[in-house]
Amino acid sequence: MDRYLSAWDELIRFLNSMGKAFTFVSSDVVEKVGILREFRKSSNSEHYETVEKMIKFEKENNLINRQQAPSKTVTAYGSRTLLRLHRALKFLLILIGKLAHNEDEGKVSLMGYNAYHSSPMSKYHPWIVQKAVGLAVYMLPDRSTFIKKMCQDLTEQQIADTMGVCSESMDAVYEFTNALYSKYDVMEIP
C-alpha cells in the first residue's frame, strides 16, 4: 500500500506540472491518496498494510458496500477509494503506451480521448464528467512537450524505452490489483 501511494505521489507531481486546467483532476487524486494514508495512520493501520489485507478487512467487517463516510476527515472507505485510482491507472498506462508508440495520428488530444474511453474509468463517470474530459484532453500539451515533462533530457531512444518500461510496469501493477478485486468479488462496489 505505501509503495502504491508513493507512486501516486509522483503522478500527482507530474499532473501538477501540467498546469491549472488539470487541478480538477489532481485535487481528486490528492484527496483519494490522502484517505488511504489516513487509514494507514489509524488504529486499524495493520489492516491497510497491503491491498489484499484492506479488501479482506473491509469485506469481513461489512464496510465494503458502504458509501457513507467513516468520519469527518475520512470521507470514504479504502477499497472503493483505491478502486477509483486503479481504474485511473489503466487510463494512464494506455495513454503512456500511445505516447511511446506515437499512435492516434500523433495527436495527444485523441490519445487522451481514446485512452479515457478504453479505460474502465469512463463508464463509471457521469455524463457531465465525460464531457469535461472531452474538453480537458484539448489542453494536454503536444507530444514532445509532454514527453519532455515526463522524461526530461533523455534521448529519443531512451524516452521510447523508458516509456515502454513504464507502461509495462504499470500494467503489471494494474493486473495484480485487478486479480485481487476479482478474487474477492469487489470489482463493482459502489
Among 4, 5, 7, 14, contact with ligand 1PZ (rule: CB under 6 A): 14
Q: How far is the CB of 46 from ligand 1PZ (least distance, A)?
A: 25
Q: Under rule CB under 6 A, how many of the chain's residues touch ligand 1PZ?
A: 20
Pick the closest to residue 4 from 174, 120, 122 (CA basis). 174
**CB-based burial label for 165 (10 Å; 0-12, 13-18, 19+):** exposed
CA 159, CA 132: separation in Å to the nearest integer?
30
Of 24-32, 36-44, 48-56, 57-65, the segment contacting ligand 1PZ by CB under 6 A is: 24-32
Per-residue binding string, ligand 1PZ, 109-148, x by CB under 6 A, is ---x---x----x-------x---x--xx--x--------
Of 8-16, 41-49, 54-62, 103-111, the segment contacting ligand 1PZ by CB under 6 A is: 8-16
Q: Which amino acid is at 30?
A: V
**DSSP letter, residue 45:** G
Q: Could you give the count of Cα atoms lying within 13 Å of 179 in the half-sphere of its Cβ?
A: 6
Contact of 83 with 51, CB cutoff 8 Å: no
The grid coordinates of residue 184 equal 474477492
Of 23-31, 40-48, 151-159, 173-181, the segment contacting ligand 1PZ by CB under 6 A is: 23-31
Q: Which residues 6+ apart lie within 8 Å of 141 measured at CB?
A: 18, 108, 149
Per-residue binding string, ligand 1PZ, 28-67, x by CB under 6 A, is xx--------------------------------------
CA 166, CA 80: separation in Å to the nearest integer?
25
Among 5, 7, 11, 30, contact with ligand 1PZ (rule: CB under 6 A): 11
Contact positions vs ligand 1PZ (CB under 6 A): 11, 14-15, 22, 24-25, 28-29, 84, 88, 91-92, 112, 116, 121, 129, 133, 136-137, 140
